[in-house]
């Protein structure tokens, strides 16, 4: 059971319902981390706007965004986000071998190209709280300055989302099977 119940639209003041509506407009529902975040509607709105930019608008390919998101949520041990994004990663075209390597924690071994580059960068940042010059330069050279900013923003955003999910013990929706090894 989550530590704080999810907020429904009816729980919010008429002014704050706009934040709820903004989240639903992009995601189709206000569940998971946003259900909890909506206890602070302005925070939820701002997090939702940041997440919308990173997931739906920034110029990094969807397949690579999902590799970064899966790696981030794996490192953060966020079952809800990892499980949700495993499906989204498949839909974006991430290979079964890459999904398995990230799930099992063996990545970047066995990966190549952009996937290996981004898994390594993400793991270095989250495990060491810093990034080596070689990892930084490789990502910057490949994706440019805006690209490395957006990739780092994606990592930071999903780390924050993961912390909300973990702190508030947000459970998977009924019928969704957890895929992250505990």
Question: Residue 181 above 90 pLDDT?
Answer: no
pLDDT at 110: 85
Furthest C-alpha separation in the chain: 51
CB 165 within 8 A of CB 69: no
Question: Residue 69 above 90 pLDDT?
Answer: yes
Q: How confident is the model at residue 85 (pLDDT cuts 50, 70, 90)?
A: very high
Q: How far apart are CA 126 and CA 30, in angstroms?
A: 27
Pick 62-167's CATH classification: 1.10.760.10, 1.20.140.10, 1.20.1290.10, 3.40.390.10: 1.20.1290.10
pLDDT at 162: 98
Q: What sign does the CA torsion over 41, 47, 50, 54 have?
A: negative
Q: What is the value of pTM for the model shown?
A: 0.95
Q: What is the pLDDT of residues 102-139, one digit of tens each?
A: 999 888 888 889 999 999 999 999 999 999 999 999 99
Kindly state the percentage of the chain with pLDDT values over 70: 100
Q: Where in the chain is the domain with CATH 1.20.1290.10?
A: 62-167
Q: What is the pLDDT of residues 138-177, one digit of tens each?
A: 999 999 999 999 999 999 999 999 999 999 999 999 999 9
């Amino acid at each position: 059971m989550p530590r704080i119940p999810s907020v429904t639209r009816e729980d919010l003041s008429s002014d704050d319902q706009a934040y709820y509506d903004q989240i639903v407009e992009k995601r189709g529902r206000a569940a998971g981390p946003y259900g909890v975040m909506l206890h602070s509607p302005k925070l939820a709105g701002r997090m939702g706007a940041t997440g919308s930019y990173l997931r739906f608008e920034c110029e990094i390919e969807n397949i690579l965004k999902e590799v970064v998101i899966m790696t981030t949520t794996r490192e953060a041990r966020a079952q809800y986000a990892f499980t949700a994004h495993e499906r989204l990663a498949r839909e974006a075209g991430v290979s079964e071998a890459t999904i398995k390597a990230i799930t099992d924690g063996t990545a970047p071994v066995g990966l190549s190209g952009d996937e290996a580059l981004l898994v390594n960068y993400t793991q270095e940042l989250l495990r060491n709280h810093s990034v080596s010059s070689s990892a930084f330069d490789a990502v910057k050279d490949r994706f440019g300055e805006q690209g490395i900013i957006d990739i780092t923003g994606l990592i930071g955003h999903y780390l924050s989302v993961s912390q909300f999910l973990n702190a508030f013990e947000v459970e998977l929706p009924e019928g969704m099977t957890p895929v992250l090894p505990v």
